[in-house]
Amino acid sequence: MIPFLDLYKINQRFEDEFKAKFTSFLDSGYYVLGKNVTAFEKEYAAYCGVTHCIGVGNGLDALRLILEGYIILGDLNKGDEVLVASNTYIATVLAIKQAGLIPVLVESERNTFNFNLEQLEASISEKSKAIMPVHLYGQLSPMKEILNFAKSYNLLVIEDAAQAHGASNNEGNYAGNLGDAAGFSFYPTKNLGALGDAGAVTTNNSELAVVVKKLRNYGSSSKYVNEYVGINSRLDEVQAAFLRIKLPLLDQDNNRRVEIAKKYLSGIKNEKIKLPNFNNSKDHVFHQFVIQVAERQQFIEHLKTNNIGTLIHYPIPPHQQEALSEYKNLLFPITESIHKEVVSIPISPILTDNDVIFIISVLNSYN
């Protein structure tokens, strides 16, 4: 049996270190916003190459607090429009709404699972004030084009980097350091995953960093003095401790993901399976390996019969979710067809070469 993702096996590698860290965490008697959070923020900022990292409760809050921070700073105003790709995970859209801004969904591109750049141009209005590229499935968005576009329309660029820890561009700049600010999630399934919920904001903007740091903690910087209407979304101390143990292995895990992706790309030969684009650069860390198959359910059954797990990222696009019914009359034919045909196959760093060979043979025998 090859499960889609074996989280226990991934974390088992760190078991002794986790236990030792937990013991010292317990013994410290200090459980919220302690030295592990501060240390992780420093280490993750250094990893991404930014000056500031603020640990928060999860990825959704990371994105939301960036936007609320910009509203407090006066760079955004309630009711401003934010451009976002229509095939993103719903969290990106929810963060925009929760901050009192208006998500403008932009049709996506079939080959890249990202913005269609012409559609982007067509979606701009006088109220557009920010753009949120999502590095979906671990592949960087076309940041050069997006940054040029943002510059010509004076938009803030906020990366949703929740799936792209460690992805870097040709200049060696990392996800989290490619726009004005970025939101990360360390949900257990992500490339860098905690043992519970966790997230972070990265930015080189000191003013924004100061505001977000207050917003995550009731809008307060000194105890019982509250400057803003903040929320409670602090990176948990024990999760920060675990993340510090896992961060040094992130690059190695990402390299293994890419190695598996290369084996898939050269080994899978089946007309019925459309493989993802990959340009052999470090801009893709394969959070997911997403293929497209016309008769998806049949394909999933074939893998199931052979004891291989799959998942769909994602079965329903944001504009067709009940929670976002204001968008239900919009049509995004490419996004909709992507959602009908995508399937993710296992790409966990702990897969063995034999697992990968077996998966390839099962995919090649599908007809």
Q: Where does this chain bind ligand PLP (CB under 6 A)?
A: 58-60, 88-89, 91-92, 134, 160, 162-163, 185, 187, 197, 199
Per the CB < 8 A criterion, the answer to whether 310 and 303 are in contact is yes
Tokens matching residue 329: 């009359």
Shortest distance (Å) from residue 315 CB to ligand PLP: 15
Shortest distance (Å) from residue 176 CB to ligand PLP: 13
DSSP per-residue codes, 251-291: HHHHHHHHHHHHHHHHH---TTEEPPP--SSTTB--S-EEE
Shortest distance (Å) from residue 101 CB to ligand PLP: 16
Shortest distance (Å) from residue 189 CB to ligand PLP: 8
Give exposure, 150-159, as e/b (b: 16+ Cβ within 10 Å). beebebbbbb
Specify the residue, 37 or 60, whose C-beta has the smaller distance to ligand PLP.
60
Residue nearest to ligand PLP as judged by C-beta position: 59
Specify the residue, 199 or 318, whose C-beta has the smaller distance to ligand PLP.
199
Find the farthest-apart pair of alpha carbons in the chain and give their distance in angstroms, rounded.
65
Specify the residue, 150 or 162, whose C-beta has the smaller distance to ligand PLP.
162
Main-chain dihedrals φ then ψ at residue 345, nearest 5 degrees: -105, 165
Tokens matching residue 291: 């293929």
Shortest distance (Å) from residue 360 CB to ligand PLP: 26
Q: First-to-last CA distance in the chain?
A: 21
Where does residue 350 rank: exposed (0-12), middle (13-18), buried (19+ CB within 10 A)? middle
Specify the residue, 61 or 273, whose C-beta has the smaller distance to ligand PLP.
61
Specify the residue, 69 or 183, whose C-beta has the smaller distance to ligand PLP.
183
Specify the residue, 349 or 360, whose C-beta has the smaller distance to ligand PLP.
349
Distance CA 74, CA 184 (A): 23
